[in-house]
Amino acid sequence: WHDETVKDHTHRKNYVVSEQSRLQLVEQDLELAANLNAYAEQLQKKISVLRRVAENWRRALDEAKGREEEYLSNPLHSFPLIRTLHEDWGPVERLMQQLVGQEQIAALELMREHLPGAEDVAEAMWGIFRIVHTHNLEPKDVAEGVLDGIQYRGRLSALDCQALGKFYFHVADYQTAIKWLTLSQDLMEEQPLEYYDELGATSSGITLLLSRCLVALDRFDEAKILLGGDKTFGDKAYHIVSHFQKHPPQQSINMENGNFTEKFNRLCSSMSRRKTDGSAAHSKPARLHCRYNATTTAFLRLAPLRMEELSLDPYIVLYHSVLSDEEMARLENMSTPLLHRARVFDSGIRKPKISPARTADEVQIPNPKLVAEDIQLVECIQKRITDLTGLMLTSMRRIQFLKYGFGGIYVPHHDFFSVHTPTSRLHGDRIATVIFYLNDVEHGGATAFPNLDLVVPTERGAVLFWHNMDGETYDLDYRTLHGACPVIVGTKMVMTRWIYEWDQMFVKSTYYPPRQKDYRQFN
């Protein structure tokens, strides 16, 4: 069974999103360290025996120095020497040949398949990349533990910076690659050079990559000076530079959706830090209205909900304290074991697929794997959505529970399909969206609407609701473009429920194209 789980990418461990997998990392790290220490101890034991033997042999000869003949005339000197030279070298040679720490090496091999793989590292690097890119952070600050103006305890090592430098090299961002690689070289002062030699990060290797970046940026002279200053390359600097010029690097990691708009990045940055007083505040426009909604349905007359209008056109509201702590805890507990990597609908292949545009784990609830009382809770929440929105939900479509890890995003998108999909044929388009925030993200993770200059920070228990289509004409409202800002620290849990056109047939009149208003200018 194990092989299958490894092959099935949707079920592999997610070290970025899952606390449980991350805790395993700590355990594995401890185990690796203990194993390595045991190995070093074995090695140390062998070294001290060999040293002792060598010392004993030398001591005899030191004593004899200059008076060898007299020394050897004493049988208590010559007998041991004869015996030693005949008998002892054999066992010593055997000891020298004996492999040390086979047990620990075997243990390491066994552990290896459970350690993070290349794709885990790639995912984590993308996470850092998105945080750095969205907030326009300086590699130096990041390496020193300053993320978006906040000093954290973590630090990056020379090896971490080298890995990030290579990553940026592969995405063809040579300017930033140079920053990471230079940092890596500076940080190498922290350990003896042999340490880096053994771990595959030589300073001259970095110099070579640095000069490659410089050449790619047409900074030939700097590249020559850099190479000339390294003994390894010396007088070959000129040839190396012209070789690099003839063979320019190819971008080998596709940025795909790594590039967000300036507007989105600015909104995310304006709202990435939680207010110190603990209250969350969305940015512009300032609070329009805050009141109790006691009218949408009969339920709300009994239990009015605090509602904040964030935008009137298009209509966007935020409800506070919709879910109780107990409900949120149960939602988290029932969903966490079922999470798998989120997919988005690819209009090219007309199927959902894993995409860097949306890096989160997800599960659809309710779900046959849940116990009856959990299903009941989800159904109760579906009813509450109708209370909040006045819109109908059918059991055909479900709520999506999403969990984002560091660097987790959802690039700006519209929730409506605008093209025909298997879902839209059955249910119509997504006329409205409801997002439940299930936790306060420590840093980052707001929902941003770049066309509306609106950004909504996560607020545990709150619910965001908006219409994706004009309420009367059903025109697609392109102004509702929105995305999830990268999570910087912590995880983010939300539930999204998209509300469909055909489900409203008994509460609203349904319109068909031709559409009347043109919102596409905001596309």
Ligand X SMILES: O=C(O)CCC(=O)C(=O)O
Q: Which residues are near Fe ion by CB under 5 A? A: 415
From ligand X, Fe ion, none, interface partner of 484 (C-beta below 5 to 8 A by class): ligand X
Task: Kindly state the smallest distance separating residue 498's Cβ from ligand X, in Å.
Answer: 7
- Contact letters (x/-) for ligand X, 420-449, by CB under 6 A? ---------------x-----------x--
Strand partners, 344: 353
- CB nearer ligand X, residue 224 or residue 403: 403
- CB nearer ligand X, residue 217 or residue 357: 357
What gap in Å lies between CA 52 and CA 444, rounded to an integer?
60
From Fe ion, ligand X, none, interface partner of 494 (C-beta below 5 to 8 A by class): ligand X
Among 131, 476, 484, 499, binds ligand X (CB under 6 A): 484
What gap in Å lies between CA 478 and CA 468, rounded to an integer?
8
Which of 319, 509, 476, 499 shows the shortest CA–CA distance to 392? 499
Which of 157, 122, 119, 144 shows the shortest CA–CA distance to 407? 122
Judge contact between 353 and 367, C-beta under 8 A.
Answer: no
- CB nearer ligand X, residue 101 or residue 366: 366
Task: Kindly state the smallest distance separating residue 244's Cβ from Fe ion, in Å.
Answer: 44
Work out whether 491 is an interface residue with ligand X (CB under 6 A).
no
- CB nearer Fe ion, residue 123 or residue 415: 415
Q: What is the dihedral of CA 193, 54, 105, 159, to 10 degrees?
A: 0
- CB nearer ligand X, residue 202 or residue 496: 496
Judge contact between 23 and 15, C-beta under 8 A.
Answer: no
Task: Kindly state the smallest distance separating residue 415's Cβ from Fe ion, in Å.
Answer: 4
What gap in Å lies between CA 317 and CA 463, rounded to an integer?
8
What gap in Å lies between CA 361 and CA 332, rounded to an integer?
13
- CB nearer Fe ion, residue 415 or residue 477: 415
From ligand X, Fe ion, none, interface partner of 403 (C-beta below 5 to 8 A by class): none
What gap in Å lies between CA 445 and CA 488, rounded to an integer?
7
Work out whether 496 is an interface residue with ligand X (CB under 6 A).
yes
Q: By rule CB under 6 A, what count of residues binds ligand X?
A: 8
- CB nearer ligand X, residue 129 or residue 404: 404
Secondary structure of residue 230 in the 3-state scheme = coil
Work out whether 415 is an interface residue with ligand X (CB under 6 A).
yes
Q: What DSSP character marks residue 522?
A: G
Site for ligand X in 134-153 (CB under 6 A): none
- Token pair 């007083």 is at which residue? 277
Among 39, 410, 417, 449, binds ligand X (CB under 6 A): 410
What gap in Å lies between CA 45 and CA 34, rounded to an integer?
17
- CB nearer ligand X, residue 60 or residue 396: 396
From ligand X, Fe ion, none, interface partner of 447 (C-beta below 5 to 8 A by class): ligand X
Task: Kindly state the smallest distance separating residue 131's Cβ from ligand X, in Å.
Answer: 16
Which of 433, 454, 452, 446 shows the shortest CA–CA distance to 497? 433
From ligand X, Fe ion, none, interface partner of 449 (C-beta below 5 to 8 A by class): none
What gap in Å lies between CA 328 and CA 345, rounded to an integer?
28
- CB nearer ligand X, residue 71 or residue 522: 522
Among 331, 482, 488, 500, binds ligand X (CB under 6 A): 482
- CB nearer ligand X, residue 219 or residue 263: 263
Site for ligand X in 12-51 (CB under 6 A): none
* Beta-carbon count within 10 A of 99 CB: 8
From Fe ion, ligand X, none, interface partner of 467 (C-beta below 5 to 8 A by class): none
- 3-class DSSP string for 441-460: CCEECCEEECCCCEEECCCC
Task: Kindly state the smallest distance separating residue 160's Cβ from ligand X, in Å.
Answer: 28
What gap in Å lies between CA 24 and CA 457, rounded to an integer?
30
* Beta-carbon count within 10 A of 45 CB: 12
Which of 396, 432, 387 shows the shortest CA–CA distance to 414? 432
| Omega prior to 450 cis, within 30 of 0 | no
Work out whether 494 is an interface residue with ligand X (CB under 6 A).
yes
Task: Kindly state the smallest distance separating residue 153's Cβ from Fe ion, in Å.
Answer: 34
> What are the residues binding ligand X (CB under 6 A)?
410, 415, 435, 447, 482, 484, 494, 496
